[in-house]
Structure 1
Amino acid sequence: MKLVSRWAAHLRDVATAHWVAALCLAVLAVGVQAVTPGNHPRQPAEAHWVASWAVAPVEFGELAASPGGAGYSSPAGNDLRGQTLRQQVELSLDGQRIRIRFSNRFGKAPLRIAAASAARGTGADAFSPTTLRVLRFGGRTSLTLAPGADAWSDGVDLPVQAGQTVVVSAFFDRAASFSTVSMLEPGTTWVTAGNAVMAPKLKSPTPLVLNQIVTGLDVLTTKSVRTVVAFGDSITSGTAEAKFGAYPDMLATRLRDTQGAGNDIAVLNAGIGGNRLLADGMGPSGLSRFERDALRQSSVTHAIVLLGTNDIGRTLFANVPGAEIKPRDMPTAERITDGLEQLVKQARAKGVKVLLGTVPPFRNTPYWNEANDAMREAVNRWIRGRQDIDGVVDFDAALRDPADPQALNPLFDSGDHLHPNKAGHAAMAATIDLHELQE
């Protein structure tokens, strides 16, 4: 019996030794995997970048030339040289590591960022000092962007959660004229004199009407995440009446409140006020920008497309002196549906699912006449009748007045009879079938 006991004890000792050795090797392996030159943690092989916030930029000169464009100029001047730009962005996805996209898409000259940082925001232009991270670009603390170029910062460890804000700061030591801007989130961008990228709170900041240069924030994750791009015009981007309550924001909140663990879905707002599907105008046409503003977002899986209102309204310029539309450029229902078909094909080629939104009503606006409403109805019939797309979102049915289907429901009308108010945006978000975003 003693011999058997000793043998059993020996086997236990051997097993324990093997287990300890295996554990040590595993720890060593994790340590080797996690440490790389420069003390930057290397992520697991399955980790990938996913867009958590993004905007669709436009050219500043185009905005400045539009009606009321003088209001887009800054009291501090339209050149960022010698100033620090600080922008607050709200995230739709959790992550442990982030990177920031800077853009000179519409710039006519190189854009130099002399220094940049990111941190978790604590309100307005302030951030938590303990979360401050210096941004680098290929290991350097400065970046020069060629005209037309975008660039990502190197990744930095910064744990963030959906609904939190990140404050991004950049200092410009050379001429940096306003060029690549967005109007998506007014009241979230400031400038101050000097290099203040490390300052937790700006001194005497000047608010800007337009967001500048910062166009995206990605998080690194090992989760399987669905990323939805809401692509459209001002009915997608939101107006002053729906500030911080455009339908993509409400959709993101709805998803956070209803999705179970492991079903993370990010929602990006790629709307541009005044945008058209077929022709350039306020921003590049939907046809020309879909690839860049929707399909190139990191790990995009779905796109919700709502365009056509401003194309239909463009017929009003057919006989306006100086703004005549050539017959071949005149919008028709067939041209609009052909354009939507092209977007569907572009998305399919990238493996991205598309949900098409019907065009909401706009009676009692300058856009409306019987012919234009007939065009809108024809486009909507084509959308509703499609059997080969991934989904239809009937925004028209959700927003129209039951007593007058050619007009917005008064409960959802911002007052101009074209743009939904907050309740209207909530109705838009509520009409989207969440199951179609999980497939």
Structure 2
Amino acid sequence: MPFAPASPASLLTRRRCLGLLACACLPWRPMAVRAEPAEDEEWVAGWIAAAHDHRALLLPLGMPPLVLQDQTVRQHMLVAAGGHALRVRLSNRFGDQPLVVGAAGVGLCTGPDALSPGTLRPLRFDGRPGTTLAPHTERWSDPVALEVTADQRLAVSLHLPQATVIGTGHATSPASSQAAAGDQVMHSRLAAPVDLPWNPIVTAIDVRIAQQPAKVVVAFGDSITQGASAADSTAASYPARLAARLRGAREAPPVVVLNAGLSGNRLLRDGTGPRGLARFAHDALQVSGVTHVIVLIGINDIGWGTAGGERPVWLVPPWDVATPDAITAGLQRLVGEARAQGVKVLLGTLPPFKGSPYWSEDNERTRQAVNRWIRGRQDVDAVIDFDAALRAKDDALMLHPAFDSGDHLHPSEAGFAAMAAAADVPELRE
């Protein structure tokens, strides 16, 4: 069944089409690299994504969900940590039907449209080539021997033999997933791929490290953390830029920075994905090897329902307005959960957003109150003052013009670089 998105004009126009590619089916070639861990080794997260329900985004638009059948989905990702073996997590957390995967594989990228034939590896699940995920469940693949280095691109391919409603997944910019007809899991190039507006099913990759334990930092937040305003959010977001700074400093032990930002996410209420309070344990604290978490969330709670300085009561009833006390209580809960697990916490102040649709005098007072509370915390490992790093010199309520993407809410790529510099604190190395 050919892939046909519900609305090509609305879903695919901003995606980069890779065109028609030749099909080259090549056999798996084993490498002399061990997959089983030594006693002094551990799993460390090399890549993660904050997933949510794709159908929830389409429903308000009156659009049907994405359905794939007898197609191969290939997703590209940039790993933040290197190792000699890896495992892949598949997710059906938000699905309400069993998810059948007929075959799966992984390989290292040689460009935007091809994998290195010698690195292609089949993924297995309890020794089997495929797996079925029950609704609301996740599953790790068996370990597979593959040498991968930090800041290297790889791709995971899945064959979906049955009609599959795509629920669980995540968005990136630019497009990083394609679909092609039939089972092309072990092909180095997909034949006639079509860009997908969504990255389905694959939500994490762990690597085995054979060196001193790494510091694993999870950046947790909303679109400002995800890097939604950047042309390439995978490379220009503040977590990606922070990772590059730390790699350049050749830290020992290495510091791995992972992005758990989710555009539109709120701390206190469900909306774009589960509320921050609900997803923090899964998306941050359950990340393999996590040692630190940077928390920057709350702007969507403050600005929810505001337009032109007004918040209509019919749209946002009083009980749904986020007060400073409610936001700080939510942040305090995240701090407590992390510290209870032995994870170090770095709290980020909320950047200015005057001039954006979210702004009003009442909302500004809430932001200022939340930031005063953050700056006064004695029970966290560090405070990162993103507000001070990004605000304009002549108007502290606005983003600096050089750091403004143009909507007065999201930082520009220069702004993300300034955030990374502010976040490069000694506590990340402790």
Deviation at 1:46, TM superposition (A): 1.5
Q: Indicate yes or no: 2:357 matched with 1:363.
A: no
Q: Is the 8 A contact 1:186 1:210 kept in 2?
A: no
Partner Cα distance (1:246, 1:175) in 2: 35
Q: What's the secondary structure of 1:407's corresponding residue?
A: coil
Alignment of structure 1 residues 33-182 onto 2, 5 Å: 41-66=35-60, 78-182=66-170
Q: 1:409 to 1:132 in 2, by over 3 A?
A: same
Please tell me whether the aligned partners of residues 191 and 206 of structure 1 are also in contact (alpha carbons under 8 angstroms). yes
8 Å contact kept, 1:90–1:165 = yes
Question: Paired residue for 1:323, among 311, 315, 321?
Answer: 315
Once the two structures are overlaid, the 10-residue window that deviates more, 232-241 or 102-111, is 232-241
Determine the C-alpha separation between the residues in 2 that align with 1:361 and 1:65. 32
CA drift at 1:125: 3.3
Gaps of 5+ in 2: 1-32
Is 1:232 paired with 2:221? yes
Q: How does 1:356-435 map to 2 (within 5 A)?
A: 356-435=347-426
Superposition misfits of 4+ residues, deviation over 4 angstroms:
none
Which residue does the alignment assign to 1:3? none
**Identical positions, percent:** 49
- Contact kept, 8 Å, 1:55 with 1:184, in 2: the verdict is no
- Structure-1-length-normalised TM-score: 0.86
Contact residue 86 and residue 125 of structure 1 kept, 8 A: no
Aligned-pair distance for 1:66?
A: 4.9
Q: Letter of the 2:202 partner, please give it.
A: V
Residue 89 of structure 1 and its aligned partner are, at CA, apart by 0.7
Q: Output aligned runs, 1:293-372, within 5 Å.
A: 293-314=283-304, 316=306, 320=312, 323-325=315-317, 327-372=318-363
Structure-to-structure mapping, 1:249-328, within 5 angstroms: 249-260=240-251, 262-314=252-304, 316=306, 320=312, 323-325=315-317, 327-328=318-319
**Aligned residues of 1:103 and 1:214 also touching (Cα < 8 A):** yes
Matched AA of 2:383: V
What does the per-residue CA deviation read over 1:145-173, in whole Å, with 9 as the maximum and x for residues that have no partner?
Answer: 11111111001010000111111000011
Match of 2:7 in 1: none
CA shift, 1:42, in A, is 3.1
1:207 is aligned with what amino acid?
D
Equivalent residue, structure 2, for 1:246? 237
CA spacing shift, 1:239–1:383, aligned 2, 3 Å: same
Pick which of 311-320 and 182-191 moved more: 311-320
> Any conservation in 1 of the 2:305–2:312 contact (CA below 8 Å)?
no
Q: CA deviation at 1:63?
A: 1.4
Query: Shift of residue 315 of structure 1?
Result: 5.5
TM superposition shift of 1:240: 4.1
Give the whole-Å Cα distance in 1 for the aligned partners of 2:231 and 2:276. Answer: 22
Structure with higher helix content: 1
Q: 1:41: how far off?
A: 4.9
- Determine the C-alpha separation between the residues in 2 that align with 1:174 and 1:315: 40
Q: Secondary structure at the match of 1:401?
A: coil
The alpha-carbon deviation at position 433 of structure 1 amounts to 3.3
Aligned residue for 2:20? none
Alpha-carbon separation, structure 1, partners of 2:288 and 2:149: 18
> What is the CA deviation profile of residues 380-402 of structure 1, one whole-angstrom value per residue up to 9, with x for unaligned ones?
01000111211101000011001
Q: Which residue of 1 aligns with 2:21?
A: none
Q: For 1:404 and 1:116, locate their aligned partners in 2 and report how far apart those are by CA, in whole Å.
A: 53
**Residue 275 and residue 381 in structure 1: after superposition, are their counterparts in 2 closer, same or farther (change >3 A)?**
same
Q: For residues 316 and 45 of structure 2, what CA distance do their matches in structure 1 show?
A: 40
- Alpha-carbon distance between aligned partners in 1 of 2:425 and 2:132, rounded to the nearest angstrom: 41
Indicate the SS of the match to 2:267.
coil
Tell me the CA shift for residue 379 of structure 1: 0.3
Q: CA deviation at 1:249?
A: 0.6
Q: Which runs of 5+ in 1 are unaligned?
A: 1-38
Counterpart contact for 2:225–2:239, Cα < 8 Å: yes
SS in 2 for 1:356: strand
Q: Which amino acid counterpart does residue 121 of structure 1 have in structure 2?
A: C
Structure 2 Cα separation of the partners of residues 412 and 387 of structure 1: 29
The SS at the match of 1:241 is coil
Contact conserved, 1:125 with 1:167, CA < 8 A, in 2? no
Q: CA RMSD in A?
A: 1.8
Is this contact kept in 2: 1:390–1:436, CA < 8 A?
yes
How many residue pairs were aligned? 393
CA contact (8 A) 2:44 2:209 kept: yes
Contact 1:360 1:395 in 2 (8 A): yes
Distance 1:247 1:49 in 2: 25
**1:413–1:420 Cα contact (<8 Å) kept:** yes
- Tell me, what secondary structure is at the counterpart of 1:301? strand
d(CA) in 2 for partners of 1:241 and 1:415? 11
Q: 1:381 to 1:224 in 2, by over 3 A?
A: same
Q: Return the TM-score normalized by structure 2.
A: 0.88
1:168-247 to structure 2, matched below 5 A, reads: 168-222=156-210, 223-243=212-232, 244-247=235-238
Q: Is the 8 Å Cα contact of residues 92 and 162 (structure 1) preserved in structure 2?
A: yes
8 Å contact from structure 1 (residues 185, 211) kept in 2: no
